[in-house]
Amino acid sequence: MIEPERPSRGHVIGDGLAWTARWSWRFLVVTAALVVLGLVIGQLWSIMFPVFLGLIIATVLEPPVAWLRARRVPSTLAALLVVVGGLAVLVGIVVLLAPSVAGQAPQIVQGAVGGIQQIQAWVQGPPLNLGMSQIGGYVDLAVQRLQQSAVQIAGGVVAGVTTVANGVINAVLAIILAFLFVKDGPSFLPWVRRRAGTTAGSHLEEVFRRAWARLGGFIRSQALIGLVDAIFIGIGLVIFGVPLALPLAVLTFFGAFIPIIGAFVAGALAVLIALVVQGPTVAIGVLILILAVQQIEGNLLQPLVQGKGLGLNSAVVILAVAGGSSLFGIAGAFFAVPVAAVVAEVVRYLDQQVARRTGEGDPGADPDDGSDGSDGSGGSGGPHEPDAGRAEQPVAPTSEQGSAERADG
pLDDT tens string 263-306: 778 888 888 888 877 778 888 898 899 888 888 877 777 666 65
Output 221 or 130, whichever has higher pLDDT.
Answer: 221
Closest by Cα among 58, 73, 16 to 182:
58
Segment 171-195 mean pLDDT? 84
59, 219 contact by CB (below 8 A) = yes
Mean pLDDT of 110-119: 67
Q: Are residues 47 and 65 in the same domain?
A: yes
Which residues fall within 8 angstroms of residue 26, CB to CB, at 6 or more apart? none
Pair 378, 318: CB distance under 8 Å: no
- End-to-end Cα distance, the chain: 36
Let me know if residue 167 belongs to a domain: yes
Range of 98's domain? 43-109+150-196
Q: Are residues 217 and 357 in the same domain?
A: yes
Mean pLDDT of 198-207: 83
Residues 237 and 336 in one domain: yes
Closest CA to 378 of 142, 164, 210, 158: 210
Query: Do 212 and 323 fall into the same domain?
Result: yes
Confidence of residue 255 (pLDDT cuts 50, 70, 90): confident
Looking at the structure, do residues 350 and 373 belong to the same domain, yes or no?
yes
**315 lies in a domain?**
yes
Residue % of the chain over a pLDDT of 70: 69
In total, how many domains does the chain have?
2
pTM of this structure: 0.64
Q: Could you tell me if 168 and 218 lie in one domain?
A: no
Instruction: Check whether 185 has a pLDDT greater than 70.
Output: yes
Please check whether residues 190 and 240 belong to one and the same domain: no
In this structure, are 295 and 239 located in the same domain? yes
**Helix-helix angle 314-358:45-70, to 10 degrees:** 70
* Residue 296 near residue 225 (C-beta atoms within 8 A): no
My answer on whether 191 and 260 are in the same domain is no
Same domain for 302 and 349: yes
Query: 124 lies in a domain?
Result: no
Domain membership flag for residue 50: yes
Question: Last residue of a domain, which of 129, 164, 196?
Answer: 196
